[in-house]
């Protein structure tokens, strides 16, 4: 485990490490969030002083933030070990920034999801959304500047914040924050991490020119920008060069623009094998293993676990399963597909329609192939984490076929837990393909017949070969723990700030 340079670390992300809800008697209870970023941060919190700035996402979050002294929740209220400041952004501003720009525009651009004859349509309504996006980003930048100034819980000796102060800004929601924060606080070292893919310049240029430039310029306010894979980092560099006209140093992996240098690095997020295996051994998961074993009744299991997200390509995944049963009828009655697709972003009509398409196709498959004693498909649309872990444990084949994905941690988690050694059918457009491609069966996510063929090969793969590949997948998927992923970014940021500002001041300026 890499050591962290002590000091103050400010983290900013739209969704924070903790969320609140009301119990029956009206009390507020905190729940720690999941995901790599929370576990990476929690392990850093012991070594550096961490303040996490996020948005209040519900009325209960707003109430908890309002009741906290100075707006700072100590220890995150949920055992993350970091102080948390939840920003109460006006509802209409938040809706336009989060749903209108972040999820309906930037997410669609980076995942190349537009049905371009009809969308996008950048008119007056979009300009209004963009103004809200700026205001929402400005609220984060101001809160980070406050945090750098020592607002919030004091350091352990009761003094102000420890030096150096580093801000780690996360994801497409906050793309304008690095530049805004650099303007407010030139003494803070700023890192940015992109969790999504990055679009190639021709697709990125769908954005109005001024906004495309503002997004890139926003990130170039950072000293260091990190990406999940080389491919996304290269796409970002291409956009900086072609759209912004910035000077790109490919060898030195840096962009020079407006008198500032931003280094660009690749920091792939992996899984904490120990933490995941421990969780998957708990009694609630074991109970689900027994239930799913009864469902499978000795048949092979093809498993998928996703949010019902347009980029996850669930409809083509089901279509590929249907083709498998048509093209290779020998599998009928011998395989069951567990498709766990839990709800996501239901404020957006496209997501509601997509969920309906998934359910429609699932019903068609059941009608077409189901028999008295064989259920070919189990589609579950409610989120049940223990059940997902149980499915990983039992999978013979794991299907991960996104149209495009920053990384995809399902592809890394499944093989770590698989008891029989699962085969992985993986989209070549997932960031994870860069690390797992050798041991997985790679597919073109648009090629339904090719995916059906890969499912057949996966089911047909000799057990020893499957186990060998699964061992390689588990090793590669846990090579970089969330702690190391975060520590690696912090040291890249320290190095970038040192190069820019001299050794006397390792991270701050």
Residue ranges in contact with ligand G6P by CB under 6 A: 14-15, 171, 195-196, 345, 406
Looking at the Cβ atoms of 96 and 345, the one nearer to ligand G6P is 345
CA distance 346 to 356: 12
The distance of closest approach from Cβ of residue 170 to ligand G6P in the complex, given in angstroms and rounded to an integer, is 7
Query: Least separation, in Å, of the C-beta of 251 and ligand G6P?
Result: 29
Residue 335 β-bridge partners? 300
Residue with tokens 């769908």: 206
Of 227 and 369, the one with the shorter C-beta distance to ligand G6P is 227
Shortest Cβ 37–ligand G6P spacing (Å): 8
User: Which position's Cβ is nearest ligand G6P?
Assistant: 195
Q: Which is nearer to ligand G6P, 171 or 217 (CB)?
A: 171
Interacting residues of 81 by C-beta distance below 8 A, sequence separation 6+: 42, 45, 46, 50, 75
> DSSP string covering 427-463, please?
ETTBTTHHHHTTTSEEE-TT-HHHHHHHHHHHHHS-H
Q: How far is the CB of 428 from ligand G6P (least distance, A)?
A: 18
d(CA 177, CA 258): 16
Cβ proximity to ligand G6P, 182 vs 194, nearer residue: 194
From CA 124, how far away is CA 146, in angstroms rounded? 33
* Closer residue to ligand G6P, CB minimum distance, 253 or 345: 345
Name all contacts of 242-250 with Cβ < 8 Å and 24+ positions apart. 242/201, 243/201, 243/204, 243/205, 243/209, 243/212, 243/213, 243/216, 244/213, 244/216, 244/217, 244/220, 246/216, 246/220
Cβ proximity to ligand G6P: between 187 and 350 the closer is 350
Name the residue nearer to ligand G6P (CB basis): 15 or 32.
15
Which 8-state DSSP code applies to residue 337?
E
Spatial distance between the Cα atoms of 145 and 147, rounded to a whole number of angstroms: 5
Q: How far is the CB of 171 from ligand G6P (least distance, A)?
A: 5
From the CB of 391, what's the least distance to ligand G6P, in Å? 19
- Closest approach, Cβ 58 to ligand G6P, in A, equals 12
């Amino acid at each position: 485990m890499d050591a962290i340079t002590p000091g103050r670390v400010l983290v900013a992300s739209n969704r924070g490490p903790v969320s609140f809800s009301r119990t029956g008697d009206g009390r507020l209870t905190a729940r720690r969030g999941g995901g790599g970023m929370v576990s990476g941060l929690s392990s850093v919190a012991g070594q550096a002083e961490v303040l996490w700035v996020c948005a209040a996402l519900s009325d209960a979050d707003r109430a908890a933030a309002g009741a906290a002294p100075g707006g700072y929740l100590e220890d995150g209220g949920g055992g993350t070990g970091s102080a948390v400041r939840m920003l109460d952004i006006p509802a209409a501003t938040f809706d336009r920034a989060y749903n209108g720009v972040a999820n309906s525009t930037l997410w669609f651009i980076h995942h190349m999801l537009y049905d371009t004859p009809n969308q996008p349509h950048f008119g007056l309504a979009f300009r209004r959304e963009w103004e809200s996006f700026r205001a929402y980003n400005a609220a984060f930048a101001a809160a980070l500047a406050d945090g750098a100034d020592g607002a919030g819980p004091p350091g352990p000796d009761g003094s102000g914040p420890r030096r150096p102060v580093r801000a780690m800004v996360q994801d497409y929601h906050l793309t304008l924050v690095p530049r805004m924060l650099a303007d407010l606080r030139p003494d803070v070292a700023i890192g940015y991490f992109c969790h999504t893919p990055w679009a190639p310049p021709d697709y990125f240029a769908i954005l109005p020119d001024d906004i495309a430039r503002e997004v890139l310029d926003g990130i170039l306010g950072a000293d260091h920008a990190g990406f999940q894979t080389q491919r996304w980092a290269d796409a970002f560099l291409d956009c900086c060069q072609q759209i912004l006209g910035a000077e790109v140093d490919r060898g030195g992996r840096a962009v020079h623009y407006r008198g500032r240098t931003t280094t660009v690095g690749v920091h792939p997020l992996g899984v904490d094998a120990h933490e995941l295996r421990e969780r998957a051994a708990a009694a609630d998961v074991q109970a689900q293993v027994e239930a799913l074993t009864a469902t499978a009744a000795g048949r092979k299991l093809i498993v998928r676990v996703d949010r019902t997200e347009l980029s996850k390509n669930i409809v083509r995944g089901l279509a590929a399963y249907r083709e498998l049963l048509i093209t290779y009828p020998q599998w009928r009655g011998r395989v069951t597909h567990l498709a766990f697709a839990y709800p996501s972003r239901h404020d957006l009509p496209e997501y509601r329609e997509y969920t309906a398409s998934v359910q429609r196709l699932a019903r068609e498959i059941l009608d077409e192939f189901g028999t008295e004693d064989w259920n070919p498909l189990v589609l579950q649309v409610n989120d049940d984490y223990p059940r997902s872990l149980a499915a990983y444990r039992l999978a013979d084949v794991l299907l991960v076929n996104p149209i495009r994905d920053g990384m995809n941690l399902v592809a890394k988690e499944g093989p770590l837990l698989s008891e029989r050694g699962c085969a992985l059918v993986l989209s070549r457009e997932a960031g994870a393909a860069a690390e797992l491609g050798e041991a997985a069966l790679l597919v073109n996510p648009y090629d339904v017949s090719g995916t059906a063929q890969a499912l057949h090969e996966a089911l047909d793969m000799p057990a020893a070969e499957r186990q060998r590949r699964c061992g390689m997948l588990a090793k590669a998927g846990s090579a970089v723990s969330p702690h190391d992923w975060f520590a690696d970014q912090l040291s890249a940021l320290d190095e970038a700030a040192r190069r820019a500002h001299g050794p006397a001041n390792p991270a701050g300026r």
